[in-house]
Structure formats: C-alpha cells, structure tokens
Amino acid sequence: MNAALGTAFGAVGLLALAGSLLVGAPYAQLRGEGAPAGLRPYTAEAARGREAYMALGCIYCHSQQPRDPRQAPDAERGWGRPSVPADYAYDHPHLLGTMRTGPDLFNIGARQPSRDWHLLHLYDPRAVVPGSIMPAHRFLFDVGGAAGPEDVVVNLPGGGTAVARPEALDLVAYLLSLDHTYPVAPAEGSVP
Amino acid sequence: MIRLNHEALARENREPIEAPRRMPPVFAALVVALAAWGAAYLWRDAGEGRFGEGDQRTPAALLVRPASGGAIDGKALYEARCAACHQASGLGLPGAFPPLAGSEWVLGAASRPASIVVAGLGGSIQVKGHAYQGAMPAFRDQLSDAEIAAILTYARGAWGNGAPPVEVDTVAAARAALADRAGPIEGEAELVRLVPSP
Amino acid sequence: MNDTLARLLALCFLVAVVGLLGLVWAVSRRQFTHLAAGARVIFGPGEEGRAEDPVAPSPALLQRSLGVPPPAASPPADVADRTRADRSSRGPVLWFVVSAVVWLLLGSLLGVLASVKMHWPEVLDASVYTTFGRVRPLHLNIIAYGWLSMAGVGVALWLLPRLLRTPLRGGRWAVAGALVWNVGMVLGVAALLTGHTEGVEWLEFPWQIDLFFVVGGALAGVPLLLTLQHRRVEHLYVSTWYIIAALVWFPILFVVANVPGVHFGVEHALVNWWFAHNVLGLWFTPMSLAAAYYLIPKIVGRPIHSYQLSLLAFWALALFYSQVGVHHLIGGPVPTWVVTLSIVTSVAMCVPVLATAVNLHFTAFDRLAALRHSPTLRFVVLGAMMYTVASVQGSLHALRSLNTLTHFTHYTVAHAHLGAYGFNTFVFFGAVYFLMPRITGAEWPWPRLVSAHFALVVAGFAVYVVFLSIGGLLQGAAMLDASRPFMESVEVTLPYLLARSVGGTLMTLGHVVFAAHVGGILWAASRRRAAAATSMAPAAQEVLS
C-alpha cells in the first residue's frame, strides 16, 4: 500500500464500525431501560460502601452476574436468577467482574444477611471459611482500644474484640444491599 | 556528541520488503468458509427471541426465584443459610457465634428458636454457660414456614441433639405473633418475656 | 423484529468479509508489478540469505548457520539512510525504552506479590496498601501502560524513520511526551495505591490522570506524523501500516472509554471490554507485529513471504479484532446479539492470525538454524509463535461451549499472559536487543546475560502458562458441578497457583538480568562517549552524515 492517509482512514473506519456495533447500538438499545420495581437505589451508606468495594479491589476476585441455568448452575449455588440489564440501573460504574476466585456476590445480601458474619469474615476470612484465600481486611478495624457506646464491636473467635471502622460498616452495608431476588418480567416478544 | 554504532549499522541487512507472492488458495477458502459459518451463526443465534435481557436468557428463569424443588431438605437449607456462622458441626465459633449443638435454646420449647429465626436476635444471650453478643438476621422474608421448620427439625436432631421435630404450625404461629415487629428480638431477656416456655 | 435484525447483521457480516477479500485482491494487483521490480533490485544474486544480529555471540557462526557465503557490504546509501534514521530517533527511543524497562521491573515484582498472595494470603496483609485488591490492578496497569505501551511507542519511534528512509522530525516532542507519560504513570500508581480508582478493569486510572496520557501520547505522536509526512519511500512496508493504524486506534479507544459521565449500567461493561480487548488487539499487537515484520526479514535477510498475505492479515485484523471484546461478557447481562457478534469475529480472527503465522514463519522457515545464534530472532520468532497459539486459543474459548468452562477462572489469566507476555513482551525484548546497540553506539557488554535472560523467561513462562491453564480448567470444572462445594474450586487451584508463583519469579529474575544488561549497555555507551571526547582522535569524531 502506498497511501498512509488511506490506511489511517480505513483503520479508523473499521474501528468506528466496531464501536457503533458493540457500543453505539447497545447504548441506544439499553438507554431507555428503567429500574425494575423491586430494585432500590443505594442508600448513602451503601453507596460509600460501593466506593470501598472498588478501592479494595473486590472485583478482581468476585463477579456480580449470575448466568442462566442452561449455561451454568449459578442458581443452584444460591447465586440467584440470571441477571438482566435493568438490575444494574443504579450501577455507576459497573462492577460485573470477570473472576470467580471467590463466589458471585450479586445476591450476597440475601444469601448471607448477617452483618456480624460479614464483619468477622472481613476481619479474618479463615475464621469463618476454612481454606479461604481471601485477604484479611484487619486494617478496616481498630483493635485494642476501648469501644464507645455507638461502636460496632466484632466478637472474635477465641476471645477478644475489634471495633469496625466506618469504612467496614459501609462496605458491609453495600454487601447487604446486594439483593436481586425480586423476579423480573422478560421483555416483550422474548417468550417464544 | 552522538556516536552511533557504525559497525553494527554497516553489517545490517537491507531494509526488509515483501515478496510479490499470492496467498495460498487455502486462505481464500478459509475466509469464505468462516464468512459462511459466521453469517449462519448470526442468522440463527443473534435474535432467537432473547433480545435485551442478557446473553442466553431463559424467560422462565427470570420470572421465578430459584426453587428448591419437591421435598424440602432441612440439612441442605441449614448448610446454605446457617452453617456460615453456626458451622456445619453445629458448634458455632466460640466467642463469636453461639453453638446449636447441645444449646438449651435449640433443645427447649420449639417456639423460641422458631421466633429467633423469624425475627432475628440482638443483644445478649447466654448459651451453654457463655455470653454471646451479636445480631442474628431475620429470615422471615427469605424462608417459608415449612423451610424454617425443616431447618429447625434438622438442628434439633443433628449433632447428638435429641429434641423432637418442629411442626410447620409452630413456625406459622411465631410468624403471626411477631408480624408487627420491625426489629430483632432484644436478647435473652426479651425472648423469654415474648415467648414464654409452655 | 429480533430475527430481522439478526439477519441484517448476518448479511452485513457476509458483505464485510467479501469486501475484505475484494480489497486485498484490488490493492495487491496494483502493487505486484512494483514489488516484483523492487525485489529484483534489492536482493541481487547471492545476496538473499545473509544473517545478522547485534547480539549474536559469533556473527561468523550465525552467517555459516545459513549455509550461504558471507555477504557483500550493504550499499553506502542504505547505511547512510539507516544511520541518519537511528541518530535522529536516538533520544526519544532511549527515553521510552529505558522508562519501559523500569516499569517492567516494578510491574513484575508486583505481579509476583499478587501471585504469592493467592496461595499465601497472609503475606503483607496488614496494610491496605499491599492488599491483593491494590497490588493486582497496579501490576496490570504498570505492565500495560508503563511497559508495553512505552516499549511499543519506543520501538515505533525507532522503526518509522528507518521504514520511511528519513530522519525523525520533531523528536523533542516525543521526549516531552515520554516525560508527561511517566508523570501520568507515577500519579496513576499513587492513585491506585491509595484506592483512588475508577473501579473498571483496564481503566482504573482516574480520568484526571488519564489527561496526562492523552497529552503524553499526543506529544509522542507528533514526530511520528511529521516523519510520515516527510517519507522518502513510495511503497509503505507492512510494519508501517500497523504503526499508522495503532497510532489512530489507541487515542480514539482511550478517549471513548475514559470520558466521564457518559457510560451507564451494563453499557459501561460493553465499553469496558471493547476497550480492554482492543488495548491488546489494536495497540500492543500492531506495535509488536510491526516489530516482528521488520526484525525477522532483517535478521534472516529474506523478503517477507507474501505481500498478499500481509494485506489480508492487516485488514482482517482491523475488521475482526476490533469487534471481539464482548466475548468477555458471554453469559452476562448484555444483549445476545452483541455477544454472538463478538463470538463470530473472535473465531474469524483465525484468518489474520494464520495469515500472519504463514507469512512470518515461512520467511524464517528454512533459516531456523539462525535461531541458535541470534537471540533477537529467538525472542521474536518465539513471540510470533505465541501470537498464533494465544489467538487460536482465544478463538476457541470464545465459543460458548468452551467459554462456560473457562470463564471466571485462572485459565483466562494464563491466556492473557500468553498474549501480553508470550507474544508482545517477547517481541519487544527482541526489538530492544536489536535496537540498543544501534542507537547507543555500544555493543551489549555481556552476551551471556542474553542467554540467561532468555532461559529464565522462557522456563518461567512455560511453567506459568501450563500450570495456570490446568489449574483454571480444574477450577472451572469444579465450579460447573453444583454438587461440589464452592470451596473445592478454590482448593483444587492451590498447587497450580503456587507453580504460577514459581514461574512468575523466574520471569522476574529474567527481567532483572535484562534491566541490568540495559544498564550495562548505557554505561558502556557513556564510557565510549567519554573516551571519544578526551582522545580527540579524528576517528572517534567520525561524523555520520
């Protein structure tokens, strides 16, 4: 080829084609999608917890996208029904994830509703899940100081306590808010 | 003063070029075959009645919660819902989560553990001589009466616990009695007051 | 309505692919006469078949390995052209390549730390700054934007003046670009370390910091555009196409994916993976292919096997690779038709990949003996082979049936390293070994270190990919069987995660050797300069004009 400009235009043209197919068209298709009736917006606490979820890099091991039963037994594992685009109406940015080094968390709030469990699990994952390779998040807790009346105290197995810092409480509030067990109606025309 | 490696530069080969050779015909065949396959796959699969809900969605799977199927398996439900804290062994985690094996509360009047599972439990409770502070969540929205009865029946019969099964009616009665209640039962004191031993 | 759209999509696909074949045929028909004449002029009788590598322990052995008589010297005009080219690109190339090597060292150390944490989670777990969720994205971003991007731009800055037979214009812009890019990297690393992340894989750097990359990239692009404008060749060699395309692709992708406040919900996931796969496919890959297309024929002294295959491979890559990204969301909450399109184009990637494989490997095919004596060729040919392996693997596990097993597992991580390490990084290693002696004016001081580097990274990488792939498949199988508790899918991977750490450590040791050698050649070059300045001998002041 002799034409540098031609090559550049061709390259941009094909990228534009790809972008309009993979991003542009779905953008138009999904834009009008509202939130399902059963989905609540995040509370301020859960929204802060979501920031902590990002800052601590939870997405590198946990997905939030159960697959359909005919592809994978995600529902049988208790991870919930297959997710649909509307379930993510309040999600900026998306946290779908690509790894399941740990389990899917799309319905962790329904599956594991105990705040105490979550706090202890964050503090010392192997205390509640033997063999877990999740990193301990002890830096989200204060140990050794006296607990005030408003403090949330985590009772550690074998004695001792830790006080959850606000970041830990926010993170757990976010995890508990991950409950997408409401049913969704399939879109019109999709039932054969 | 920039000095380049003149020897290296001089001993290099000429700048590369491409030989004016045609591609092997097998490549044209490969392209045509892939084009045909790709078009056929798109034609058949890209629409197929599942447009906007996600990749390969079964409409029926979206409408209902994943059901546990015919008979309710108390052990499976316990392992899914309870074992994370109380452990599969029923021994709990000393200091953090109370044991169910040999627990006077589990073995006593069935209406008490049924009330705890329905409404949750906060505050302080003495189990097998140790005090536990904690907050057990309510399961009234997540489990049916039959499921709670099955779990409790399992817990009262496993790990050497020898208490009789729990009837669905007992759970239904606890649910009805606690229907107006928003928060969890506040510790042992309120539990004993709310749910007197028969 | 859905069926109509699906059929429209199918027809468009058919038309695009037929159009691709037509384009290749039309362009190659016009060029064949010109190329045939050129080939006769450039490779005179007996000249085709010389071999040359700056790091070959013995140039004579390398030459003999080809079984042809020693060559005549290159024509003086050729030598003068490439001398001018290398001198003009020297500063910018050094800035980019040396920065890249530093980032490679840092990035691989963090990679090893992240890997160790997977089977030994207690390591450095007391501080939030060293928790897995911080280390893992630091590793990826440092390797992607520090090592691979900067090495790619450095190689492109060195290649383009040579390919266009004209000095690099405005090299100072590129030096400024390297500085701004490095500032962006430092700020980005600080941001991720302190938990300031966009929370989206491959796009973690906060958008304010992305501006540094936009400015730095634009500054580095200026000399490349100016040089293109002043080219002194009519026909553009295949490496040039890839550089041009990468130069227009990456900025568009980077801006579209990073622009704040536009993307929402699952549409964000589509942009995310369209971008992330294109960083590999339309940024690292074209830069690496440009280097491989240049270095293989350069070292073995033969023309690229087939011009028509070059054309097919390039345009097929542009058409298909740009559309594969959504195979990362198979089974996810995004429309079926987008996923299906990405699956089809992923499989269609067989076309450019096999065309490239034939083109590059047939060029080196009966010169394989040269591999023994040319470390550059070893790195680049092995890299090109890994391109084939990684891409064919990618085509296969984009199929729904296989993806169900491999999705969400460590297998995908192994696959990503097969591409970004086995292919891109190996090719860039080879390119750095070739270009540094040219632009620094010194020879590699310790040729044995090159062999040590090669042995370490190849052994480490083999362990890495083989074990992690197996571990990932076992993990996937465990996860698909709902009767096995989830924890089994964790336990089954542990020995393989440990093996991955061993492999990664060997690779990192190789990088230490490599970085030390890069330091060594810079030191040797500064010694040469000092000697030249003090001796004042006319020979040392030799001016190459």
pLDDT at A1 over 80: no
Within a 13 Å sphere around the CA of C373, how many CA atoms are in the beta-carbon half?
A: 21
CA separation for the pair C88, C66 (Å, rounded): 33
pLDDT for A189: 45
C-alpha dist (Å) from residue A71 to B185, C27, C403: 42, 44, 10
Burial tier of C123 (Cβ tally within 10 Å: 0-12, 13-18, 19+): middle
Q: Kindly report the three-state secondary structure assignment for every residue of chain A.
A: CCCHHHHHHHHHHHHHHHHHHHHHHHHHHHHCCCCCCCCCCCCHHHHHHHHHHHHCCHHHCCCCCCCCCCCCCCCCCCCCCCCCHHHHCCCCCCCCCCECCCCCCCCHHHHCCCHHHHHHHHHCHHHHCCCCCCCCCHHHEEECCCCCCCCCEEECCCCCEEEECHHHHHHHHHHHHCCCCCCCCCCCCCCC
**What is the value of ipTM here, to two decimals?**
0.94
pLDDT at C95 over 60: yes
Q: Does C17 sit within 8 Å of B31, measured CB to CB?
A: yes
pLDDT tens per residue across span B59-88: 888 875 545 456 788 888 898 889 889 998
**Cα of A185 to nearest chain C Cα, Å:** 14
pLDDT tens per residue across span C415-439: 999 999 999 999 999 999 999 999 9
Judged by a CB distance cut-off of 8 A, whether residue B180 touches chain C is no
Tokens linked to C193: 């370390």
Judged by a CB distance cut-off of 8 A, whether residue C117 touches chain A is yes
**Average of pLDDT values for C60-65?**
62
* Beta carbons of C332 and A71 less than 8 angstroms apart: no
CA separation for the pair A68, A81 (Å, rounded): 7
* C-alpha closest to that of C135 among C212, C182, C204, C209: C204
- This model's pTM is above 0.90: yes
Q: Does B59 sit within 8 Å of A68, measured CB to CB?
A: no
Name the percent of chain A lying above pLDDT 70: 96
Q: Which residue has the higher pLDDT, B132 or C185?
A: C185
Q: Are B107 and B181 contained in the same domain?
A: yes
pLDDT at A90 over 80: yes
**Cα of C208 to nearest chain B Cα, Å:** 33
User: Domain containing B91 — which CATH number?
Assistant: 1.10.760.10
Q: Does A94 sit within 8 Å of C268, measured CB to CB?
A: yes
Residue of B1, B6, B7, B9 for testing the chain C interface, max C β-carbons within 10 Å? B9
* Beta carbons of B40 and C326 less than 8 angstroms apart: no
pLDDT at C476 over 80: yes
Residue of B45, B53, B144 for testing the chain A interface, max A β-carbons within 10 Å? B53
**Cα of B41 to nearest chain C Cα, Å:** 7
Q: Are B181 and B151 contained in the same domain?
A: yes
Q: Are B56 and B108 contained in the same domain?
A: no
Architecture of the domain delimited by A40-177: Orthogonal Bundle (1.10)
pLDDT at A48 over 80: yes
Where in chain A are the domains?
Answer: 40-177
* Calculated CA dihedral for residues C501, C506, C507, C510, nearest 10 degrees: 160
Only one residue has tokens 């877990």, namely A132
CA separation for the pair C59, C66 (Å, rounded): 11
- Band of the pLDDT at C35, cuts 50, 70, 90? low
Q: Which of C330, C344, C354 sits opposite B41 (nearest CB)?
A: C344
pLDDT at C147 over 80: yes
> How are the residues of chain C apportioned to helix, strand and coil, as percentages rounded to the nearest 5?
80, 0, 20
pLDDT for A192: 38
pLDDT for C279: 94
User: How far from each other are the two terminal CA atoms of chain C, in whole angstroms?
Assistant: 68
Question: Would you tell me the crossing angle of helices C149-164 and C76-119 to the nearest 10 degrees?
Answer: 170
Q: Are B36 and B133 contained in the same domain?
A: no
* C-alpha closest to that of B5 among C162, C444, C164, C158: C444
**Average of pLDDT values for C144-173?**
96
Q: Which helix (H) or strand (E) holds B45?
A: helix B25-45
* Structural domains counted in chain B: 2
* C-alpha closest to that of B101 among B109, B89, B113: B89
* Beta carbons of A141 and A165 less than 8 angstroms apart: yes
Lowest mean pLDDT among B41-45, B119-123, C324-328, C408-412: B41-45
pLDDT for C339: 93
Q: Are B48 and B86 contained in the same domain?
A: no
| Closest chain B CA to residue C32 | B20
Q: Does C231 sit within 8 Å of A137, measured CB to CB?
A: no
Among B7, B35, B64, identify where a domain stops.
B64
C-alpha dist (Å) from residue C88 to B3, C25, C165, C440, C460: 11, 37, 11, 12, 37
pLDDT for C69: 46
pLDDT for A89: 93
C-alpha dist (Å) from residue A49 to A97, A179, B137, B183: 17, 15, 20, 23
* C-alpha closest to that of C412 among C403, C423, C401: C403
In-domain check, residue B14:
no
8-state DSSP, B64: S
Residues within 8 A of C (CB atoms), A 145-184 only: none
| Closest chain B CA to residue A179 | B142
Q: Does B20 sit within 8 Å of C344, measured CB to CB?
A: no
Burial tier of C62 (Cβ tally within 10 Å: 0-12, 13-18, 19+): buried
Q: Are B43 and B130 contained in the same domain?
A: no
pLDDT for B183: 86
Q: Are B81 and B154 contained in the same domain?
A: yes
pLDDT for C97: 98
Lowest mean pLDDT among A96-105, B127-136, C342-351: B127-136
Q: Are B149 and B78 contained in the same domain?
A: yes
pLDDT at C367 over 80: no
Average pLDDT score over chain C = 90
CA separation for the pair C464, C449 (Å, rounded): 22
pLDDT for C260: 86
Among B7, B40, B64, identify where a domain stops.
B64
In-domain check, residue B136:
yes
**Cα of A93 to nearest chain C Cα, Å:** 7
**Average of pLDDT values for C51-66?**
60
Only one residue has tokens 């508990």, namely A176
CA separation for the pair A171, B37 (Å, rounded): 47
CA separation for the pair A175, C280 (Å, rounded): 33
CA separation for the pair C332, C334 (Å, rounded): 6
Neighbours of C30 (CB within 10 A): 10
pLDDT at C58 over 70: no
User: How far from each other are the two terminal CA atoms of chain B, in whole angstroms?
Assistant: 100
Q: Are B44 and B126 contained in the same domain?
A: no
- Band of the pLDDT at C32, cuts 50, 70, 90? low
Sheet of strand A153-155, all strands in order from the earlier edge strand to the far edge: A141-143, A161-164, A153-155
* Beta carbons of C275 and C205 less than 8 angstroms apart: no
CA separation for the pair C53, A121 (Å, rounded): 57
**Average of pLDDT values for B107-115?**
91
pLDDT at C537 over 50: no
pLDDT at C1 over 50: no
Q: Are B79 and B59 contained in the same domain?
A: no
pLDDT tens per residue across span C484-527: 999 999 999 999 999 999 999 999 999 999 999 999 999 999 99
pLDDT for C38: 54
**Average of pLDDT values for C170-178?**
96
pLDDT at C60 over 80: no
CA separation for the pair B142, C68 (Å, rounded): 80
pLDDT for B182: 84
Tokens linked to B68: 């546990």
Which amino acid is residue C212, in one-letter code?
Answer: F
CA angle C172, C177, C178 (to 5 degrees): 100
Q: Are B103 and B56 contained in the same domain?
A: no
- Band of the pLDDT at B37, cuts 50, 70, 90? very high
pLDDT at C541 over 50: no
Q: Are B34 and B103 contained in the same domain?
A: no
- pLDDT winner (highest mean) among A23-37, A144-158, A164-178: A164-178
pLDDT tens per residue across span A92-124: 999 999 999 999 999 999 889 999 999 999 999
Which amino acid is residue A46, in one-letter code?
Answer: A
Name the percent of chain C lying above pLDDT 90: 73
Lowest mean pLDDT among A26-35, C278-287, C311-320: A26-35
8-state DSSP, C237: P
Rg (CA), chain A: 21
* Beta carbons of B146 and B67 less than 8 angstroms apart: no
- Band of the pLDDT at C261, cuts 50, 70, 90? confident
pLDDT for C234: 87
* Beta carbons of C275 and C203 less than 8 angstroms apart: yes
Beta bridge partners of A99: C408
pLDDT for C46: 43
pLDDT at B10 over 80: no
Neighbours of C69 (CB within 10 A): 11
Beta bridge partners of A161: A155
pLDDT for B80: 85
* Beta carbons of C351 and B31 less than 8 angstroms apart: yes
Which distant-in-sequence residues (6+ apart) come within 8 Å of B41 by Cβ? C340, C343, C344
Q: Give chain B positions within 8 Å (CB) of A120.
A: 93, 96
Host domain of residue B37: 24-64
